[in-house]
Amino acid sequence: MNPEIKQKWIEALKSGEYKQTDGKLRQDNRFCCLGVLCDIIDPSKWDGEGYDGFLGVPPYKLLDSINLSEDKCLVLARMNDEGAKFTRIANYIEENI
């Protein structure tokens, strides 16, 4: 994964600035861990709760551009939706992605 984006993502997840949600990238100004990723890459792409037309996962072209596999993305989405806090997810990203 792009190391610069990875570091910004980890910092954003640990910052406490983002409130967490599940099931969608963003809902009522709350974000899943992948929504945080989208937001730090380009916040202008939000269209309501969707990001560039996607609701549950980031656009595949975004994942390709930062070299994040769909498999890793789904692992993170599952962690988030099963209740893992952002700090735990950030630690997972740091150690495994």
Burial 25-42 (b: 16+ CB within 10 A, else e): bbbeeebbbbbbbbbebe
pLDDT in tens, the chain (97 residues): 999 999 999 999 999 999 999 999 999 999 999 999 999 999 999 998 899 999 999 999 999 999 999 999 999 999 999 999 999 999 999 999 9
Q: Which pTM value belongs to this model?
A: 0.96
Q: How many domains does one find in the chain?
A: 1
Tell me how far apart the alpha carbons of residues 40 and 6 are, in angstroms, rounded to a whole number.
Answer: 10
- Domain containing 11 equals 3-96
